[in-house]
């Protein structure tokens, strides 16, 4: 970075730091056991419902593993979609009520991680991606989603904005795009391409050792690996609708 660019960036960073300090002061000025709850705004409650949907998806996946009742599996597949509706409306509510906050931004990211990171990964495990290497790939998918959300929170102020103040594009795939993967898993479930029936499409590849050992991985696990890479990509820019 040239000396001139450094001088240009310093006032911008100082302004951002001052705005963050001012935004945080509202939480410092309130006391009491339930002061955090009193600081919640309507948009924050909508965001929390996104997390509720993600949590219900996780518990439904667990119930399916315990009971083998496909009704629980279909519920687990449906809840992330319900979470997307709350994720869409929390921003609308925040703009309508003019009540956006730093707390809301952090809540939004944490809720997205549950509904669009953890829930799809656990669903993939439930469907049949259960080898050791499968779980390594799915863990990488979750961690890349986490990293993508953290980067968004840290750099959103630097992304070019349109006339209304909205960011023009996403750097990397936004994590709600994982609903495409949930849709794929739903299709497999409908076709019976799941563990306990016909099995996951394309079968298992043994990278080393004997079949059934630590070197086994499902070929379709690569889809989650590629998706994870696209979420943390710096050069992939997705126009924001």
Name the β-bridge partners of 237: 171
Burial of 65 (0-12, 13-18, 19+ CB in 10 A): middle
Q: Tell me the per-residue pLDDT of 197-226, one tens digit each, with 9 for 90 and over.
A: 999 999 999 999 999 899 999 999 999 999
How many structural domains does the chain have? 1
Q: Does residue 21 form part of some domain?
A: no
Query: Helix, strand, or coil here: 42?
Result: helix
**pLDDT at position 13 over 70:** no
Query: Would you place residue 170 in the very low, low, confident or very high pLDDT band (cuts 50, 70, 90)?
Result: confident
pLDDT value of position 237: 83
Alpha-helix runs per DSSP H in 29-118: 35-38, 42-67, 70-97, 102-113
More reliable by pLDDT, 219 or 102: 219
What gap in Å lies between CA 97 and CA 43, rounded to an integer? 8
Q: What is the pLDDT of residue 132?
A: 96
Q: Which helix (H) or strand (E) holds 126?
A: helix 119-127
Q: Is residue 219 part of a domain?
A: yes
Q: Is residue 34 part of a domain?
A: no
Q: What tens digit of pLDDT does each residue of 46-67 get?
A: 889 999 999 999 999 999 999 9
Report which of residues 230 and 168 the model is more confident about. 230
Contacts of range 84-87, beta carbons closer than 8 Å, 24 or more positions apart? 84/50, 84/115, 84/116, 84/176, 84/179, 86/46, 86/47, 86/49, 86/50, 86/53, 86/111, 87/47, 87/50, 87/111, 87/112, 87/115, 87/176
Q: Residue 33's pLDDT is what? A: 60
Taking Cα atoms as reference points, which of 113, 104, 141, 130 lies closest to residue 57?
113
Residue 137's domain comprises: 39-159+167-238
State which of 11-15, 90-94, 117-121 shows the largest mean pLDDT.
Answer: 117-121
Average pLDDT of the chain to the nearest whole number: 84
Six-digit token string for 107: 């809540």
| 202 domain-assigned | yes
Does residue 106 form part of some domain?
yes
pTM of the predicted model over 0.85: no
The token pair at 83 is: 């979470």
pLDDT on residue 153? 81
For residue 53, what is the domain's CATH number?
A: 1.20.120
Q: Is residue 24, in this structure, part of any structural domain at all?
A: no
Banded model confidence at residue 239, pLDDT cuts 50, 70, 90: confident
Q: Is the pLDDT of residue 18 over 90?
A: no
Residue at 32 is within a domain: no
Instruction: Classify residue 179: in a domain, yes or no.
Output: yes
């Amino acid at each position: 970075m040239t000396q001139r660019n450094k001088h240009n960036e310093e006032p911008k960073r100082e302004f951002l730091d001052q705005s963050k300090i001012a935004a945080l002061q509202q939480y410092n000025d309130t006391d009491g056991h339930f002061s955090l709850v009193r600081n919640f705004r309507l948009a924050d409650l909508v965001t929390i419902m996104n997390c509720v949907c993600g949590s219900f998806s996780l518990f439904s996946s667990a119930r399916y593993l315990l009971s083998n009742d496909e009704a629980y599996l279909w519920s687990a597949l449906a809840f992330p979609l319900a979470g997307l509706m709350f994720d869409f409306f929390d921003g609308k509510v925040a703009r309508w009520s003019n009540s956006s906050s730093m707390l809301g931004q952090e809540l939004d990211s944490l809720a997205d991680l549950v509904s669009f990171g953890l829930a799809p990964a656990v669903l993939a495990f439930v469907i049949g991606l259960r080898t050791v290497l499968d779980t390594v790939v799915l863990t990488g998918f979750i961690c890349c989603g986490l990293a993508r959300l953290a980067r968004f929170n840290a750099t959103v102020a630097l992304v070019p904005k349109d006339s209304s103040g909205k960011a023009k594009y996403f750097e990397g795939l936004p994590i709600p795009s994982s609903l495409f993967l949930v849709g794929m898993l739903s299709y497999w479930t409908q076709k019976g391409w799941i563990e306990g029936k016909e099995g996951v499409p394309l079968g298992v590849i043994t990278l080393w050792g004997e079949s059934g050992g630590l070197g086994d991985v499902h070929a379709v696990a690569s889809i989650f690996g590629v998706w994870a890479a696209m979420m943390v990509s710096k050069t992939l820019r997705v126009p924001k609708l």
